[in-house]
Structure 1
Amino acid sequence: MGEIHRWYTGDIGSCIKVDNKGNLYVSGTYSNTVDFDPGPGIQNLIGNGVNLFVLKLDTAGNYIWAKSMGGSNIEENWGLAVDSNKNVYTTGQFQGLVDFDPGMNIYNLISNGGKDIYISKLDSMGQFQWAHSFGDNFTDRGSAVSIDGSNNVLLTGSFAGTVDFDPGPGVFNLTASSSDIFILKLDANGNLLWVKDSGK
């Protein structure tokens, strides 16, 4: 499994993963209207600003599904992971209000003034499971996500200021003097297991 890093022209495929059956998953950002079916079919998604996408293809590169998440600002995708049950996780940064449910329902997250970290989970059919955000009024970013053998979620990136890394009702604040590294572990349901930081 590997990643393709982003380039800065047009629509961007930033990450690619392969599941245990050989299906391909691509994540990134797009704007306006994009046909995500690489074959003769048409599967358009319509962006509002610069939005996030996740695309699933079979082992031959045929379209299975594509999902869009976003708001009216610019979202960025930096990390993608797939667990043993083919659930799909993405991370990056966003600003303003973003609907992370790609279906008919709405699940809005709102940043705390600057760019915030997000982590999102979709199931094997691209249906929304959960999403969390973390941030202060500075620039924070989720850079990479990985899944361990128990399907726990490991997330790393950078943060500044004081950030509550507990997505639940509890509070677990870490404070960075400038921009520090964080390493966050969540269970498969998105609950905090632990978080650590490293920096000057």
Structure 2
Amino acid sequence: MSDAQYSGDSFNQTLSSAGLFDCFLIKTDENGQMLWANSYGSNQTDSGYAIDVDDNGNITLTGIFKNTVDFDLGTGVHELSSNGAFDVFVITLNSDGLLSWSHHIGGANSEIVNNLKIYGQDMYMVGSFSGQSNFNILGAGHIKNSNGTRDGYILKLDFSSVGFHPNTSSEFTLYPNPVNSYLNITKSPDTIQHIVVLNSIGQKVLESSSFPIDISHLAEGTYNVRILSNHQTFSYSIIKF
């Protein structure tokens, strides 16, 4: 693929592949009119395999990629790099197509994902892998070794227990989550008076009055972000990696 044009009555967008084949995702309204189109890819072949939408309209997409892909199509950068031939990526977007979080599963060989489903706060993925693969998408620690040429896998992720799911407050949405450097906000922050970041034992580690917030110096782990806006406090869980 080189260029592909997607258009409707009031929509016209051209996507260009970064390499051989890229993954693309489009959203339409109930009448089939296009609302937005995204593409994700490296200089190699990248493909989308499965998609699901939760009750809040957040979109989770999974597929395979090789080399390095930036999954943040906004002003930020959120790159994933494959460990071997092909790795599995899984990303969640809000209803406007903006990235909330992204992670990957991989080892020295190739991993494949065949399907993904979301039930409430749980996500299930099925696929196959070869050799040794790391299935802990929060980091090292859950290693599986195939018994033959390729083995099948079933992965279950509890969004709520790891603070993974994008925040769904009607006031603000923080992204990306997990985050490595700059934490941003999708809605206008004009009404924000104060922002406090707390660690897992309730200690204040950062204060700010505006977004984006640079948290690159913080240690890896789970944090609570509290936003004071219009004399109300909104609380969000984020993961720093």
TM interval, shorter chain, is: 0.7 to 0.9
Judging changes above 3 Å, is the alpha-carbon distance between structure 1 residues 118 and 105 closer, same or farther for their aligned structure 2 residues?
A: same
Q: Which residue of 86, 102, 105 corresponds with 2:76?
A: 105
Q: Does 1:167 align with 2:161?
A: no
CA distance in structure 1 between the aligned counterparts of 2:105 and 2:32, rounded to whole angstroms = 35
SS at match of 1:36: strand
Judging changes above 3 Å, is the alpha-carbon distance between structure 1 residues 169 and 136 closer, same or farther for their aligned structure 2 residues?
A: closer
Match of 1:185 in 2: 156
Match of 1:62 in 2: 33
User: Are the equivalent residues in 2 in contact too, given 1:144–1:155 (CA < 8 A)?
Assistant: yes
Match of 1:36 in 2: 6
Q: Which residue of 23, 47, 55 corresponds with 2:17?
A: 47
* Larger Rg over CA atoms: 2
Q: CA deviation at 1:38?
A: 3.5
Identity of aligned residues (%): 28
Q: Which residue of 96, 100, 115 corresponds with 1:129?
A: 100
CA root-mean-square deviation: 2.1
Match of 2:191 in 1: none
Q: TM-score if structure 1 supplies the norm length?
A: 0.74
User: Are the equivalent residues in 2 in contact too, given 1:80–1:145 (CA < 8 A)?
Assistant: yes
Unaligned runs of 5+ in 1: 1-30, 194-200
Structure 1 range deviating more: 184-193 or 153-162: 184-193
Match of 1:155 in 2: 125
Judging changes above 3 Å, is the alpha-carbon distance between structure 1 residues 190 and 137 closer, same or farther for their aligned structure 2 residues?
A: farther
User: Are the equivalent residues in 1 in contact too, given 2:121–2:160 (CA < 8 A)?
Assistant: no
Count residues in correspondence: 162
Equivalent residue letter for 1:161: G
